[in-house]
Amino acid sequence: MTNNIYQFFFIYLYSIITLFLLSVIGDFVSISIFLSKNIFIYKNIFLYCFLYAVCFFAIRIIITNQISNIFIFIISLALSYFFLINKEINAYQLLIIISVFIAFNLLLQKYFTAKNFSNFLFEVSFLKFLKTNSLIFFSFIIIFPFYLMFVSSLKSQMVLLQNPTDLSIPFFYSISDFFSSYIAVITQYNFLNFALNSTIVSFVTVFVSLFFSIPGAYAVARLRFAGRSKISSSILIIYMVPAIVLVIPLYVIFSQLGFRNSLFSLMIVYPATTIPVALYMLQGYFKGIPYELEESALIDGCSRIGVILRITLPLSVPAILSVSLYVFMIAWNEFLFAFMFLDNQEYFTIPRGLYTQLDDQEVPRQYLMAGSVMITVPVLLLFFIFERYLVGGLTAGSVKG
Amino acid sequence: MFNLNKEAKLAYTMLIPTISIVFLIILFPIFGNFWLSFKEVKLGDLRAPQPIIKEKLKTKDIEPGDDILIEYRFKNSSQKKPIFNIEITDKISEFVSPVEISEGCSVNNNLLSCYFEEWKPKYNEKIIFKFKANDNFEIDNFNPKESKPRGVADADNILTNLKFSLKNFQKILQKNETIENIKVTFLYSFFATIGALFLGISAALLLEKNFLGKGFFRGLFLFPFVSPVIAVAFTWVYILDPFKGFLNNYLLNNEFISEPIFFLGLKKVDFLGFDFPFTLFIVILFESWRYFPLAFLFILARLQAIPKDLYEASDIDGATRIQQFFYITLPQLLGVISLLFILRFIWNFNKFEDIFLLTGGNAGTRTLTVQVYDEAFALSNMGTASSVAVLIFILLAIFVFIHQKIAPKDIEE
- The enclosing domain of B63 has a CATH number of 2.60.40.290
* Same domain for B188 and B85: no
* Residues pairing with B97 in the sheet: B132
State the pLDDT at residue B412.
Answer: 41
* Same domain for B141 and B281: no
Partner-chain contact A248 B369, CB within 8 Å: no
ipTM score of the complex? Answer: 0.87
Band of the pLDDT at A392, cuts 50, 70, 90? low
CB B72, CB B162: distance < 8 Å = no
Tell which of A140, A156, A177 closes a domain. Answer: A140
Q: Which residues contact B1 (CB under 8 A, 6 or more apart)?
A: none
How far off is chain B from A112, nearest CA to CA, in Å? 17
* Same domain for A210 and A108: no
On whether residue A57 sits in a domain, the answer given is yes
CATH of the domain at B301: 1.10.3720.10
Q: How far is CA A196 from the centre of its chain?
A: 25
Q: Give the residue from B22, B181, B320, B379 with the most A CB atoms within 10 Å of its CB, the best one to mutate.
A: B22
Q: How far is CA A144 from the centre of its chain?
A: 10
Query: Residue-wise over B223-242: b if at least 16 C-beta within 10 A, else e?
Result: bbbbbbbbbbbbbbbbbbbb
CB B293, CB B221: distance < 8 Å = yes
On whether residue A154 sits in a domain, the answer given is no
* Same domain for B364 and B335: yes
Tell which of B155, B178, B212 closes a domain. Answer: B155
* Same domain for A324 and A258: yes
Side-chain-side CA neighbours of A169 within 13 Å: the count stands at 7
Tell which of B127, B155, B183 closes a domain. Answer: B155
* Same domain for B300 and B252: yes
State the pLDDT at residue B232.
Answer: 93
On whether residue A148 sits in a domain, the answer given is no
Percent of chain A past pLDDT 90, that is, above it, reads 8
State the pLDDT at residue B407.
Answer: 62
On whether residue A169 sits in a domain, the answer given is no
Q: How far apart are CA B52 and CA B151, in angstroms?
A: 7
Burial of B176: CB neighbours in 10 Å, binned 0-12, 13-18, 19+: exposed
Identify which of B29, B239, B294 has the shortest CB distance to residue A401: B294
Note whether B223 contacts A: Cβ–Cβ < 8 A. Answer: yes
State the pLDDT at residue B164.
Answer: 76
* Same domain for A109 and A191: no
Q: What is the mean pLDDT of chain A?
A: 82
Q: Which of B98, B89, B102 is nearest to B53 (CA)?
A: B89
Q: How far apart are CA B134 and CA B94, in angstroms?
A: 8
State the pLDDT at residue A376.
Answer: 92
**Residue B290: pLDDT above 90?**
yes
Q: Which of A149, A387, A275, A278 is nearest to B293 (CA)?
A: A387
> B320 to chain A: nearest residue by CA?
A123
Taking contacts as CB-CB distances below 8 angstroms, the residues of chain B near A245 are: 29-30, 33, 389-390, 392-393
Q: What is the pLDDT of residues B160-176, one digit of tens each?
A: 777 777 778 888 888 88
Q: How far apart are the first and last CA of chain B?
A: 28
On whether residue B21 sits in a domain, the answer given is no
Q: What is the pLDDT of residues A226-257, one digit of tens each?
A: 878 888 778 877 877 888 888 888 888 888 88
* Same domain for A87 and A195: no
* Same domain for B391 and B285: yes
CATH of the domain at A213: 1.10.3720.10
**Residue B195: pLDDT above 90?**
yes
On whether residue A146 sits in a domain, the answer given is no
* Same domain for B355 and B206: yes
3-state secondary structure B324-387: HHHHHHHHHHHHHHHHHHHHHHHHHHHCCHHHHHHCCCCCCCCCHHHHHHHHHHHCCEHHHHHH
* Same domain for A332 and A243: yes
On whether residue A283 sits in a domain, the answer given is yes
* Same domain for A265 and A117: no
* Same domain for B208 and B89: no
Taking contacts as CB-CB distances below 8 angstroms, the residues of chain B near A333 are: 227-230
* Same domain for B193 and B71: no
State the pLDDT at residue A45.
Answer: 81
Taking contacts as CB-CB distances below 8 angstroms, the residues of chain B near A225 are: 7-8, 11-12
Q: Give the residue from A144, A223, A255 with the most B CB atoms within 10 Å of its CB, the best one to mutate.
A: A223
On whether residue A224 sits in a domain, the answer given is yes
* Same domain for B147 and B286: no
* Same domain for A247 and A120: no
* Same domain for A203 and A61: no
State the pLDDT at residue A199.
Answer: 93
CB pairs under 8 A between A and B: 271
Rg of chain B, C-alpha, whole Å? 34
How does DSSP classify residue B253? H
Q: How far apart are the first and last CA of chain A?
A: 52
> B375 to chain A: nearest residue by CA?
A248
Partner-chain contact A242 B373, CB within 8 Å: no
On whether residue B142 sits in a domain, the answer given is yes
* Same domain for B190 and B122: no
On whether residue B6 sits in a domain, the answer given is no
Report in angstroms the alpha-carbon separations of A158 from A161, A184, B244, B266. 5, 16, 12, 29
Q: Which residues contact A170 (CB under 8 A, 6 or more apart)?
A: A154, A155, A159, A177, A178
Domain span at residue A199? 187-396
Burial of B398: CB neighbours in 10 Å, binned 0-12, 13-18, 19+: exposed
Partner-chain contact A242 B202, CB within 8 Å: no
Domain span at residue B81? 51-155
Partner-chain contact B219 A134, CB within 8 Å: no
Q: Which of residues 305-364 of A touch B (CB under 8 A)?
A: 329, 332-333, 335-336, 350-351, 354-355, 359
On whether residue B387 sits in a domain, the answer given is yes
Band of the pLDDT at A69, cuts 50, 70, 90? confident
Taking contacts as CB-CB distances below 8 angstroms, the residues of chain A near B299 are: none
CB B289, CB B199: distance < 8 Å = yes
Percent of chain B past pLDDT 70, that is, above it, reads 93
Taking contacts as CB-CB distances below 8 angstroms, the residues of chain B near A185 are: none
> A129 to chain B: nearest residue by CA?
B206
Query: Residue-wise over A198-211: b if at least 16 C-beta within 10 A, else e?
Result: bbebbebbbebbbe
On whether residue B32 sits in a domain, the answer given is no
On whether residue B371 sits in a domain, the answer given is yes
Q: How far apart are CA A161 and CA A34, in angstroms?
A: 18
Note whether B229 contacts A: Cβ–Cβ < 8 A. Answer: yes
Percent of chain B past pLDDT 90, that is, above it, reads 10
- What global pTM score does this model have? 0.84
Partner-chain contact A383 B10, CB within 8 Å: no
How does DSSP classify residue B26? I
On whether residue B75 sits in a domain, the answer given is yes
* Same domain for A126 and A9: yes
The identity of residue A109, as a single letter, is: Q
Band of the pLDDT at A395, cuts 50, 70, 90? low
The segment with the largest mean pLDDT, out of B50-59, B139-148, B199-208, is B199-208
DSSP B226-242: HS-HHHHHHHHHHHH-T
* Same domain for A192 and A136: no
Partner-chain contact A245 B291, CB within 8 Å: no
**Would strands B269-271 and B111-119 be described as parallel, antiparallel, or unpaired?**
unpaired
**Total number of domains constituting chain B:** 2
Band of the pLDDT at A401, cuts 50, 70, 90? very low
Burial of A361: CB neighbours in 10 Å, binned 0-12, 13-18, 19+: exposed
Partner-chain contact A127 B322, CB within 8 Å: yes
**Total number of domains constituting chain A:** 2
Partner-chain contact B400 A225, CB within 8 Å: no
Tell which of B155, B183, B199 closes a domain. Answer: B155
* Same domain for A354 and A243: yes
* Same domain for B262 and B135: no
Partner-chain contact A148 B36, CB within 8 Å: no
State the pLDDT at residue A37.
Answer: 63
Note whether A122 contacts B: Cβ–Cβ < 8 A. Answer: no
Q: Which of B81, B184, A132 is nearest to A140 (CA)?
A: A132
On whether residue B141 sits in a domain, the answer given is yes
* Same domain for A215 and A86: no
Quote the Cα angle for B145-B75-B70, to 5°.
Answer: 35
* Same domain for B206 and B84: no
Note whether A215 contacts B: Cβ–Cβ < 8 A. Answer: yes
How does DSSP classify residue A192? H
Listed in sequence order, the DSSP H helices in A35-116 are 45-62, 67-83, 91-111
CB B394, CB B388: distance < 8 Å = no
| Mean pLDDT in residue range A150-160 | 83
